[in-house]
Chains A and B, each alone.
Chain A
Amino acid sequence: MSAVLSLVGVETFYGRIQALRGISLDVRAGEIVALIGGNGAGKTTTLRTISGLVRAAHGRITFAGDDITHAMPDQIVRMGIVQAPEGRRIFQRMTVLENLELGAYARADGRSVRGDMDDVFALFPRLAERRSQKGGTLSGGEQQMLAIGRALMARPKILLLDEPSLGLSPILVETIFHVIADINKRGVPILLIEQNARKALQVAARGYVLETGTIVKEGTAADLLADDDVRKAYLGED
């Protein structure tokens, strides 16, 4: 299968500090790809670079054959590359409904927004109960649901998820991973960043391991789950 999203030799700097040292990875049609690695490995920077929030100094990012390396963040969203960022980043002083509406901001087809909102509410009934509440008053888990729901409102052609399970209770983690698999079954490819490497690799088809801005390992999720180094470093096994 051909790659939908592809990074080739991407290097990103924050000032003089190099965060990404030549990242190459692919996400193919319909698959979940897990990007795992420790703190500061460059996982979030990878997603920020794809979304255009930071610029790649070198390398090339393509989406469905189009070069998006130098595209603006809003153009990238319009192409269908949608991110639910780390820390949820929901609009705290806006209601759940307004947050979801903003998720559909870049869409031209205004009429189907209501229907999509109902889909999100079906996925997360808790959000329906709290639709008029301000985002800042939601619990961490509800905020995460809102962040994912908001991303879905954009009708993504590919979804970038940054630490969707961070800080959630075990039950909520299950729910979130369930939803991730569910979204993927509808045909949306997902690039997933997770601290919880085991869960990520269980749901993913393939994975990449990132260390200090370099990809040190890649393979099928099953291979990575069985890999000795990965088990020691990221799965907490000896």
Chain B
Amino acid sequence: MAIFLQQLINGIAQGGMYALIALGYTMVYGIVELINFAHGDVFTLGSFLCIAILALLGVSASGQIIAGWQGALIALLVVVLAALLCGVIGVLIERFAYRRLRNAPRLAPLITAIGVSFLLQGVMRNWKGPSEISFPQFLPNPTFAFGGVHIDLRELLVVIVSILMMVALQFFIYNTKLGKAMRASAQDRDAASLMGINVNTTIAWTFFIGSALAGVAGFISGMYFGTTMFTNGYQAGLKAFTAAVLGGIGNIAGAMLGGFLIGIVEAMTAQYISDQWTNVVVFSILVLILVLRPSGLLGEQLPEKV
């Protein structure tokens, strides 16, 4: 039982990360019907940017621990800056790579997205080299024990941050003017224009928010695993994409649910079957969902147009 609970916590922590990335996929798909394959790489870029910002602040991978409010402040500064930078990069990608192709056949922006993905990977490889790089572990990491289950601060951080971001996003989407404009544009772009919504600006904001969340995920992933690599986003991105599809692509609550489920499935597979089989299981879910229930767990099946 303790093992099961332990793995459940691991799964939730890992799943929180997938969920944060999945939100970007699902928000962008919801509004422009594009699977933004570069999104996973924006996530990795988030980790890289955190390392760079930490270096500027004088924090390196030497293992120095910064305790107390100072550490918390640095963490906050790093995550906010990385989120903003990733957000801006997301906006630039949309502006220069996708916008002109918005009314082109679907395959064109999809291939462009794969191109942007390679571009970002290339930039990161040239920047930090082709091998694993370590992410400074500057926060203390006390472990809390509940019965037989151990949670360390990092896991707690991952879970808390990802849930906070999701609650904030959900509030934003349903209660702010821009959030409503995003939902309206996702449902019917022309009708949204006829409400006086500037759809281009709204789409840009969607990329900003999705990419900023990927930036946050980049930070917590770095804190959690302690390393990153320029190809990290490829697989994490595909798994987050699976999470988005599992929940129902375009559905925000679905992306969160899918993220946590994929994380838990992965942890349980690693524990009870084998580490080697996690990808097989996860991507089998992708195939099964696409074949059996393409609208996903929470996907609505309302007619889109009359």
Contact = CB atoms under 8 A, between A and B. Distances in A.
A105 B306 contact: no
Contact of A85 (B177, B191, B198): B191
A93 B188 contact: no
Given A53-B190, A102-B180, A105-B181, A72 B198 contact: yes
A89 B197 contact: no
Interface in A55-110: 72-74, 77-78, 82-83, 85, 87-94, 98, 101-103, 105-106
B191 A91 contact: yes
Interface of A: 51-53, 72-74, 77-78, 82-83, 85, 87-94, 98, 101-103, 105-106, 136, 140, 143, 150, 154
B300 A85 contact: no
B194 A83 contact: yes
Given A78-B196, A105-B177, A105-B196, A90 B191 contact: yes
Given A91-B183, A91-B184, 8 more contacts: A51-B194, A53-B190, A74-B198, A74-B199, A82-B194, A87-B306, A102-B195, A140-B306
A131 B198 CA distance: 26
* Of listed B183, B194, B197, residue having the most chain A CB within 10 A: B194
Contacts of B198: 72, 74
Contacts of B188: 89, 91
A92 B197 contact: no
B297 to A, nearest CB: 17
A140 B181 CA distance: 24
B278 interface: no
A85 B195 contact: no
B302 interface: yes
Interface of B: 177, 180-181, 183-184, 187-188, 190-199, 300, 302-306
Which 8 pairs of residues, A with B, have the shortest CB-CB distance? A106-B196, A77-B196, A73-B193, A89-B191, A74-B198, A136-B302, A105-B195, A87-B306
A83 B34 CA distance: 28
B195 A154 contact: yes
Given A85-B194, A102-B195, A105-B181, A93 B187 contact: yes
Contacts of B303: 92, 136
B183 A94 contact: yes
Contacts of B190: 53, 85, 89
B108 to A, nearest CB: 16
B306 A88 contact: yes
Contacts of B184: 91, 94, 102, 105
Nearest to A82: B194
Nearest to A89: B191
B306 A143 contact: yes
A124 to B, nearest CB: 18
A106 B180 CA distance: 13
A207 B187 CA distance: 34
* Of listed B184, B192, B306, residue having the most chain A CB within 10 A: B306
Contacts of A51: 193-194
B302 A74 contact: no
A103 B187 CA distance: 15
A98 B194 contact: no
Given A91-B187, A94-B184, A105-B181, A77 B305 contact: no
A83 B190 CA distance: 11
A93 B172 CA distance: 17
